[in-house]
Structure 1
Amino acid sequence: MFARALLLALALASAAGPVRATPPTLRVDIQHAGDAHVERYALERVVGEPLPWPGNPAHPIDGSNLGSQKFEVADAATGELLYSRGYSTVFGEWRTTGEAKAMQRSFQESLRFPMPDAPVELTVFGRDGDNRFVPSWSVTIDPAALDVERGPTAMADRWPVGMPIAIRRNGAPADKVDLLLLGDGYTADEMDAFEARARELADTLFSVSPFKERAADFNVWALAVPVPESGVSRPSTGIHRASATGARYDIFGSERYILTLDNRAFRDLAQYAPYDFVEIMVNGDTYGGGGIFGQFSTVAAGNDWRDYVFVHEFGHHFAALADEYYTSPVAYGAADHPRVEPWEPNVTALLDPERVKWLSQVTPATPVPTPWPKEAYEDYERGIQARRKRLREERRPEAEMSALFHEEQRHIETLFAQAAHRDAVGAFQGGNYSATGYYRPQLNCLMFTRTDAFCQVCQGAIEVVIDMYSR
């Protein structure tokens, strides 16, 4: 398998043009544990991945201030900052659940960066009560240490890893945003179906602005390994499947929430393709997905709403976009501390209306806060959510749920079409899972309803990340 990875590295280099020296990729796997009140970290392993570092050498330092966490890599001898990235975590979502008030759990995470030439100090930062980054944990990493794992990994040997499929290739990985579509739940007989669906979803992503205008800045790869039985686990209905990535439904008790809690399995497969971002495509027909900034996103690739879910969840993973909806039930929620300005780019606590974070896009004619048909929307949504709950409780066919979503979206679009500020950038109350206290930039957005476009503020946030990886 390692020889195959070496051949892949050479093939990628030759296909991209003149070969230039790039460092290997180092991955630090850690455990992030605790409960609603405390957290701690521990080193699990250090892995030298088989492919060269795919990131943009022009932007090793992350100045975006995005993520619930960030990590910094500094030269252990001189203290020089070599690399940093913001990210968010599954642990961070779990600790807002009721379970986190009653017990402790541990979750796997990975921090990837260019292989250094000498020992480095790796520091993980979290957010304090004012949403400022503060150091939480640090560890010295020696890339030459004997316990750095190199070559094939035991988990990857469980599954026959093939060559990734180049869905879109526009240049060397170091010059482009590299997106990996990682399939799970596909049998050997379904590999062609996986590739076809991967191509379809890539086309969907690049039909939505600003991805549409920036398509040339992306490479898209697809990789899947065959599993013995079609589909992924959905424990709430008694379905359990062997999984290559660990992805499944019912995370934190939410029937539609799909994540993997087996970070090791997911990373040991993903390392055989160049990637900055990963969308796990699960072979499932039931509506669902999930997205963690800087980690991964997921989509039920067989569902009627896959196009919307794919782009929405990728918005979380790629640009740290917050959910703007607040009427649908979720398994996690806002943290239990006084409201402060969120770090996410598309929601605000509006603590100072005169200095809203997207003020440059607000015209003088737009009032802040911005009125909208909030009561009518909420009255309608109460009925929709009751019907949605009943459909799941009665285990009705998925087609009925899909029809309900279409009915809902038609009603919302008709309601919003009559709103005075339907096209304005302002501050519309309701977002971030809260009916009050948080505001979103525009009346409608792909992060609010099942519409097909990002608002102007979300588009700008996405462009910032594209630039970080391709300019």
Structure 2
Amino acid sequence: MSRDMIGAARWLWGFAVFGATLAQAAPQTMRLDYVHSGNALDESYALDRIVIEPLPWPGNAARPIDTTNRGSNLFEVVDPKTGDVLYSRGFSTIFGEWRTTEEAQKLNRAFQESVRFPAPDKPVRVRILKRDERNAFSVVWSLDVDPSARDIERKTGSTPAPLLKVRDNGPPERKVDLLILGDGYTAAEAAKFEADARRLTDRLFATSPFRERAKDFNVWGLMVPTPQSGVSRPSTGAYRWSALGTRYDIFGSERYALTLDNRAFREIAQFAPYEFVEILFNNETYGGGGIFGLFSTAAAGSDWAEYLFIHEFGHHFAALADEYYTSPVAYQSGEERPEPWEPNVTALHDAKQLKWRDKVKAGTPLPTPWPKEEFEKYQRAYQKERSELRAANRPESEMNALFRRERAFTDELLSKAANSTAVGAFEGANYQASGYYRSQMQCIMFSRTDHFCDVCAGAIAEIIDLYAR
């Protein structure tokens, strides 16, 4: 039986089981919290706790099986007697990014992680799978879960802050449920958080393909106040306590902002129906981050907040890879160029193996020419000035002005180039100047433009279908 046939069989089986269950009453939401630790070479998993969250499962009963093949990891909920997969989702982890940094070659670290699924009514086995060198998933950890066990925590109580309905398009189980969490907002800034959340979601749903699918989404907002405005930025000596623990300087990158406190994040998020989360942190300094299936972040006060919100959500929502390659990152890359699992970048650029070959018009050269040398020459000077501004801790207005000049140059250069709107294989992507290719010259995953390329738009639509169809 082919892989597609297996996936279809699992989907139909899952539809029958979970569809029948939800027709009677939605199951509760079960969350498995665990610790993922190790270094660049080794990793291990350990149970932290199992939680029944206070709200019913918000997911689509008709699509329990993930067939999108996204993520560096996959988790499955399995019937231990028959081996049937009852539920699955792809995801990526902060640990997976950290182990590619220089620090991971020197010491061990532990990260909190979670997987969520419809609470079963009988014992199940939860399996964590990881991609191998062939991009195939294999089991790296499993745990048997008995829903009647006494040590399962059963959460009750009310939301720690007012739950906002930013967009309400129907029952959670029929929609993609996006939760916007605020961090670094004081109680007096509650109205600012709501305005930021509405402004940025409005921009998201003005951008294709989210614009055409806006009715498939619900958007919720939740903000637990903090004593001071803003979040920590250690590189400048700024430290703030915040409910979620969001901070800049993750892995030594001054613009990379995440929270490493998974428990704090989950304890707040569990009071809203959600499948995807974006954290808005109340700072003006450019920054953000996004992990597929975990969350994304964006500096709500930045002049570039709209771009950050959408770009980072692309990572979190659809597992889109970064297509840029001239900005410094914390990750280390070797000389090899393995084929990425992300849908929008590739190492295989010939007409027969190209991932998006069905979108390439006859006669388009592969690789596809673009003004790469001129672009890179400008970027070298631009990145030097950018680093100098940050090192001198210059006002954010100077950085914003630099960003505006860079965008104007890039837009003009690429809009006038041959193949400016073509789908092909443009060398330079995935943080590498050579050996990796993107599908179009411009995309919000490549530069600070305002649109997704055709390949990224298709990848986003596939995830929307997984949750709302």
TM-score range relative to shorter protein: over 0.9
Contact 2:64–2:88 (CA under 8 A) maintained in structure 1 = yes
Following superposition, which runs of at least 4 residues in structure 1 exceed 3 angstroms of deviation?
Answer: none
Question: What are the equivalent positions in structure 2 for 1:263-278 lying under 5 Å apart?
Answer: 263-278=262-277
CA contact (8 A) 2:181 2:278 kept: yes
The counterpart of 2:84, out of the listed 59, 71, 80, is 80
Match for residue 173 of structure 1? 172
Distance 1:55 1:110 in 2: 16
CA distance, structure 2, for counterparts of residue 181 and residue 199 of structure 1: 10
Q: Which letter maps to 1:54?
A: P
> What is the letter of the counterpart of residue 62 of structure 2?
A
1:369 matched to which residue of 2? 367
Counterpart of 1:150 in structure 2 is: 154
Contact kept in structure 2, 1:74 and 1:83, CA below 8 Å: yes
Q: Equivalences for 1:304-319 in 2 at 5 Å?
A: 304-319=303-318
Question: 2:217 matched to 1:218?
Answer: yes
Aligned pair 1:296/2:295, yes or no?
yes
Cα distance in 2 for partners of 1:442, 1:328 equals 19
Alpha-carbon distance in 1 for matches of 2:400, 2:306: 13
Answering whether residue 416 of structure 2 is matched by residue 418 of structure 1, we say: yes
The alignment covers a number of residue pairs equal to: 448
Aligned to 1:4: none
Q: Which residue of 2 aligns with 1:450?
A: 448
**1:202 aligns to what?**
201
Determine the structure 1 residue equivalent to 2:400. 402
Deviation at 1:144, TM superposition (A): 1.2
Shift of 1:20: 5.9
> Residues of 2 paired with 1:332 and 1:458: CA distance?
23
Shift of 1:365: 1.9
- Tell me by how many angstroms 1:441 deviates: 0.3
For 2:128, the equivalent position in structure 1 comes to 124
Which of 359, 369, 376 aligns to 2:357? It is 359
**Cα distance in 1 for residues equivalent to 2:233 and 2:336:** 36
Correspondence for 2:237: 238
Secondary structure at the aligned position of 2:346 is classed as coil
Equivalent residues of 2:349, 2:366 under 8 A apart: no
RMSD across aligned positions (CA): 1.4
Deviation at 1:351, TM superposition (A): 6.0
Match of 1:3 in 2: none
Counterpart amino acid of residue 448 in structure 2: R
Q: TM-score, normalised by structure 1?
A: 0.93
Tell me the residue number matched to 1:191.
Answer: 190
Instruction: Return the alpha-carbon distance in structure 1 between the equivalents of residues 227 and 439 of structure 2.
Output: 46
Shift of 1:82: 0.5
Instruction: Call closer, same or farther: CA 1:317–1:403 in 2, change over 3 Å.
Output: same
Looking at structure 2, the residues matched to 132 and 438 of structure 1 have their Cα atoms a distance apart, in angstroms, of 20
1:140 is displaced (CA, Å) by 0.6
Q: Secondary structure at the match of 2:439?
A: strand
Residue identity opposite 2:143 in structure 1: V
Do the aligned residues in 2 keep the contact of 1:353 with 1:369 (CA within 8 Å)? no
Look up the equivalent residue of 2:443 and give its one-letter code: C
Aligned to 2:343: 345
Cα 1:119–1:256 change in 2 (3 A) is same
Contact 2:37 2:108 in 1 (8 A): yes
Give 5+ residue unaligned stretches, structure 1: 1-17
Give 2:104's match in structure 1, choosing from 100, 103, 112: 100
The corresponding residue for 1:429 is 427
Q: Who is 2:62 aligned against?
A: 58
How far off its partner does 1:131 sit?
1.3
Q: 3-state SS of the aligned residue for 2:134?
A: coil
For 2:50, what is the secondary structure of its paired residue? Answer: strand
Q: Distance in 2 between matches of 1:62 and 1:246?
A: 31
CA distance in 2, matches of 1:393, 1:409: 22
Structure 2 runs not aligned, ≥5 long = 1-21
The residue number in structure 2 matching 1:383 is 381
Shift of 1:176: 0.2
Q: 2:37 pairs with 33, 37, 48, which one?
A: 33
Residues 137-146 or 165-174, more deviating = 137-146
Write the deviation string for residues 262-310 of structure 1: whole angstroms up to 9, x where unpaired: 0000011000110010000001110000000000000000110000000
Paired amino acid for 2:307: Y
Deviation at 1:341, TM superposition (A): 1.3
CA shift for structure 1 position 79: 2.0
Q: Distance in 2 between matches of 1:360 and 1:113?
A: 35
1:337 CA displacement: 7.6
